[in-house]
Amino acid sequence: MQARTENGVVLTLDHVTIKFGGLVAVNDFSLDIRKGELVGLIGPNGAGKTTVFNIVTGQYTPTSGRVIFEGRDITGWRPDLIAAAGIARTFQNVRLFTGLTVLDNVLVSQHLRLKSSFLSAAFQLSDYVKEDEDGRARGMDLLERVGLASLAKEQAGSLPYGQQRRLEIARALATNPRLLLLDEPAAGMNPEETTQLMKFICRIRDEFGLTIFLIEHDMRLVMGICERIRVIDYGVSIAEGTPQEIQSNPRVIAAYLGEEGD
Amino acid sequence: MERRRLHLVLTLALIAVLFLALWWANTHLGEFPLRVARTGAIYVVAAVAYNLVNGITGQFSLGPNGFMALGGYTTALLVLPLQQKQFVWFLEPLMWPFNSFSFPGYLFGLAVLLGGVMGALGALLVGIPSFRLRGDYLAIATFGFGEIIFVLANNLIPLTNGPLGMKGIPEYANVYWCFGAAIVATLVVSNIANSSYGRAMKAIRDDEIAAEAMGVNVFRTKMLAFVTSGFFGGVAGGLLVSLITTISPTLFTFGMTFNLLIIIVLGGLGSITGSVITGFGFALMSELLRVVEAPINIGPIHIPGVPGMRMVVFSVLLILLMIFYRRGLFGQFELSWDWVLSVLRVTRGVRECKRERKTESS
């Protein structure tokens, strides 16, 4: 297992603000995530949770503020470069490559580390063939570890929903990330599946030495596995703490249930 | 790996058999079927390359006519004999350096290759600005590019001889050149499609945002597909002008793109097998359907010949296909050695099973 240093901050969001026209979607958001942590981000619908993810992974460039990953300022980097730097994500609505097989979905994530040139792939030169075979072996190995190996040749779009969610996580793992962002991994799952997913998330964190940052509405999951929870509402951080602290925080309760006497 | 070596041997054997068949056809068949076959092979080169962009990478390009024109003019300028050049450019002289040399026959391959390079450069030029933007700008930009090439070909008289074009281009494009190019294009494009680069292209087709988040350099990957496509488009253009021995701006109008679009959609967007088969099918049908353009007498009824009737038939075919068989003849199916071998294994299994049953019953 990876050693968890006391002060090894992996990701820093430094006073991040993003505006879309007149709308301030995320306002002055700061957060430190340390190596090996499992941090949850919660908040009512439209609070700006996914926007925070999109800023970290480069889909959006913040209006002001900085994103620092492992000491490097990655603000405004292209998403593919951020993925190569070691941050992978899943999406709120599953976004698999539905026309590709399960194995190919995972292999796409290895493309960023491909060394062989385009021409050696076009003419099937030996360096490409060797690299491709190694990649396939690694892909199968990963599918084995997440329990999808028997479905390797199936079309990703034909899998049942729960398996698609699992494949999306596997695909993110195939980029060899050190930080994994999960956007509502339990959405649409029944309690039984959610329990399995919780075990799965904890397992991959230990096995792959990951730091995990997740958005979730399923409170059982968030309270069950997150060590630290951040709550945002209307783009502003309103609370942070352990699951117990969050559950009893009056501002959080107000954000979710509305102010008393409102 | 064992399997890869087997496939390589089978592919080489197939190519050898094909060239034997071509040699036989070249000596035994008449001019007409050979011409149809050569046209088909050139369509295959252009269609397979076009499919790499439209079918496999999912980017809607309308530009193959422009790339074919670039390749066609390049090859024509390089191989047209000097004497013919003096004869053709009678309004204005041909510009330097093309007025000072002409490639001999044995350099035809190089001339076609340079045509391909010009096509690739054209693709680079259009691709860089259009792929910087997300969305359907490519269709507009590539359509515009084709029109620009058309206007240039009409007006750059010292280079293209304008609307008169060139004639007397030597007919170097025999069956071996045409089929050789078709084989190379098909193998290269299917290698790309099945490689890691091809997976990245298909990932972009299925979900561009997810592909980018998984580390695929979207701009670079689209450019690779597009420039490869431009290269083979140029090659196809070079072969085509040598096959028909003339070139003029009207050869590469939007109608050419439309033909290729019919081929790749009929064959199945993303299916290389489909593009190969419908490429030949289209060349054959274009000839067979000449019947509908000739005057027809059915008893007392006289139908006068209407030129362009063939395209009506193709359009109706396309509409019917879109209604009843949306994904094209082959969908995204690919003929592969794995597939052939598995079919052979199944039929053998069935035969053995029958034999066993027969011996049991007797």
In this predicted structure, what is the pLDDT of residue A150? 95
Contacts of B209 in chain A (CB under 8 A): 59, 95
What is the reported pTM? 0.91
Residue A212 has pLDDT above 50, yes or no: yes
Contact B195 A171 (CB under 8 A): no
Contact B211 A98 (CB under 8 A): no
Domains of chain A: total: 1
B227 CB neighbours in chain A (<8 A) are none
Is pLDDT above 90 for A228? yes
List the single best residue of A90, A118, A173, A182 to mutate versus B (max B Cβ within 10 A).
A118
- Widest CA span of chain B, in angstroms? 88
Q: Is the CB of A99 less than 8 angstroms away from the CB of B216?
A: no
Residue B362 has a pLDDT of 63
Q: Closest Cα to residue B227, out of B44, B77, B41, B61?
A: B61
**N-term to C-term CA, chain A:** 50
The reply to whether residue A175 touches residue B205, judged by beta carbons under 8 angstroms, is no
Which of A83, A132, A174 faces B196 most closely, judged by CB atoms? A132
Per CB-CB distance under 8 Å, the chain A contacts of B204 are none
A79/B197 Cβ within 8 A: no
pLDDT at A116 over 70: yes
Q: Is residue A57 part of a domain?
A: yes
Place of tokens 């359009």: B315
Given the structure tokens 């995530």, which residue do they identify? A33
Q: Is B103 helix (H, G, I), strand (E, B) or coil?
A: coil
Residue B310 confidence class, pLDDT cut points 50, 70, 90: confident
In a domain, A162, yes or no: no
* CATH code of A253's domain: 3.40.50.300
Give the distance, in angstroms, between the CA of residue B218 and the centroid of all CA atoms in the same chain.
25
* 8 Å CB contact of B216 and A108: yes
The pair of three-digit structure tokens given for residue A209, joined into one six-digit string: 């030495």
- Residue of A56, A91, A108, A113 to mutate, interface with B, max B Cβ within 10 Å: A108
Collapse the DSSP code of A67 into the 3-class scheme (helix H, G, I; strand E, B; otherwise coil) and give the result.
strand
The pLDDT assigned to B194 comes to: 93
Rounded to 5 degrees, what are φ and ψ at B99?
-80, 0
**Could you tell me which chain A residue has the CA closest to the CA of B185?**
A122
CA distance B211 to chain A (A): 8
% of chain A beyond a pLDDT of 70: 96
B221: nearest CA in chain A?
A: A118
Q: What string of DSSP letters covers B310-334?
A: HHHHHHHHHHHHHHH-TTTTTTT--
Q: Which residues have a Cβ under 8 Å from the Cβ of A168 and sit 6 or more positions away?
A: A90, A91, A94, A95, A96
Using CB atoms, pick whichever of B191, B197, B206 lies closest to residue A98.
Answer: B206
Percent of chain A past pLDDT 90, that is, above it, reads 81
**Residue A136 domain-assigned (yes or no):** no
In the structure encoding, which two tokens stand for residue B112, read together?
Answer: 């076609």
For residue A153, is it within any domain?
no
Nearest Cα residue to B160 out of B70, B238, B244: B70
Q: Is A21 within a domain?
A: yes
Å from B361 to nearest chain A CA? 39
ipTM above 0.85 for this complex: yes
DSSP track, A173-228: HTT--SEEEEESTTTT--HHHHHHHHHHHHHHHHHHT-EEEEE-S-HHHHHHH-SE
* Residues of chain A numbered 190-229 and touching chain B (CB < 8 Å): none
DSSP A68: E
Q: Which residues of B touch A53 (CB under 8 A)?
A: none
- Adjacent-strand bridge partners of B297: B302
H/E element, B185: helix B175-194
- DSSP string covering B265-300: HHH-TT-HHHHHHHHHHHHHHHHHGGGGGS-EEETT
Within 10 angstroms of residue B62's Cβ, the number of other Cβ atoms is 22
Q: What is the mean pLDDT of residues B338-354?
A: 82
Taking contacts as CB-CB distances below 8 angstroms, the residues of chain B near A125 are none
Q: Does B288 score more than 90 pLDDT?
A: no
Spatial distance between the Cα atoms of A237 and A26, rounded to a whole number of angstroms: 9
CA torsion sign for A89, A92, A98, A103 is: positive
Please name the member of B198, B214, B224 whose beta carbon is closest to the beta carbon of A175.
B214
**B213 contacts on A by Cβ (under 8 Å):** 57, 59, 79-80, 83, 88-89, 91
Q: How far is CA A97 from the centre of its chain?
A: 17
Half-sphere exposure of B201 (CA within 13 A, CB side): 28
> Residue A220 sits in which domain range?
9-101+176-257
For residue A4, the model assigns a pLDDT of 41
Q: What is the band of A259 on the pLDDT scale with cuts at 50, 70, 90?
A: low
- Tell me if A100 and B218 make a contact (CB, 8 A cut-off): no
Question: Which pLDDT score is estimated for A3?
Answer: 40
List of chain A residues whose C-beta atoms are within 8 Å of the C-beta of residue B332: 99
* Structure confidence by residue, pLDDT tens digits, B224-254: 999 999 999 999 999 999 999 999 999 999 9
Query: Does a structural domain hold residue A217?
Result: yes
**Bond from prior residue into B64 cis (ω within 30 degrees of 0):** no
| Cβ–Cβ below 8 Å for A124 and B191 | yes
CB contact under 8 A, A88 and B213: yes
pLDDT band at B304 (very low <50, low <70, confident <90, very high): confident
Domain assignment of residue A144, yes or no: no
Chain B residues closer than 8 Å to A135 by CB: 196
Output the average pLDDT for chain B: 90
The answer, yes or no, to whether residue A110 has pLDDT greater than 50, is yes
Residues of A in contact with B198 (CB under 8 A): 121
State the pLDDT confidence band at A204, using cuts at 50, 70 and 90. Answer: very high
Of A114-123, B175-184, B259-268, B310-319, the least confident:
B310-319
- Would you state the pLDDT for residue A229? 94
pLDDT computed for residue B359 by the predictor: 77
Note the pLDDT of residue B333: 77
Question: Are B212 and A78 a contacting pair at CB < 8 A?
Answer: yes
Query: What is the least distance, in Å, from the CA of A79 to any CA of chain B?
Result: 5
A59 touching B, CB under 8 A? yes
- CB-CB contact of A169 with A177 (8 Å): no
Amino acid B251 reads L
Q: Tell me the per-residue pLDDT of B16-69, one tens digit each, with 9 for 90 and over.
A: 999 999 999 888 888 889 999 999 999 999 999 999 999 999 999 999 999 999
Q: What local confidence, expressed as pLDDT, does residue A262 receive?
A: 45
- Residue B355: is its pLDDT beyond 50? yes
Report the alpha-carbon distance of residue B222 to residue B327 in Å, rounded. 23
SS3 A15: strand
Q: Is A236 helix (H, G, I), strand (E, B) or coil?
A: strand
What confidence tens digit (pLDDT) does each residue in B69-112 have? 999 999 999 999 988 888 888 878 888 788 888 888 899 999 99
Of A89, A110, A114, the CB nearest to B213: A89
pLDDT of res. A260: 57
Per-residue pLDDT tens over the stretch B209-223? 999 999 999 999 999
Q: Provide the Cα torsion B23, B27, B29, B32; round to 10°.
A: 90
- Identify which of A201, A105, A166, A242 has the alpha carbon closest to the alpha carbon of residue B196: A105
**Contact predicate A30/A20, CB 8 Å:** no
* Confidence band of A2 (pLDDT split at 50, 70, 90): very low
Q: Report yes or no on A133 lying in a domain.
A: no
Instruction: Label residues A170-202 b or e (16+ Cβ within 10 Å = b).
Output: bbbbbbbbbbbbbbbbbbebeeebbeebbebbe
Q: How many CB atoms lie within 10 A of CB B36?
A: 18
Q: pLDDT band at residue B335, thresholds of 50, 70 and 90?
A: confident
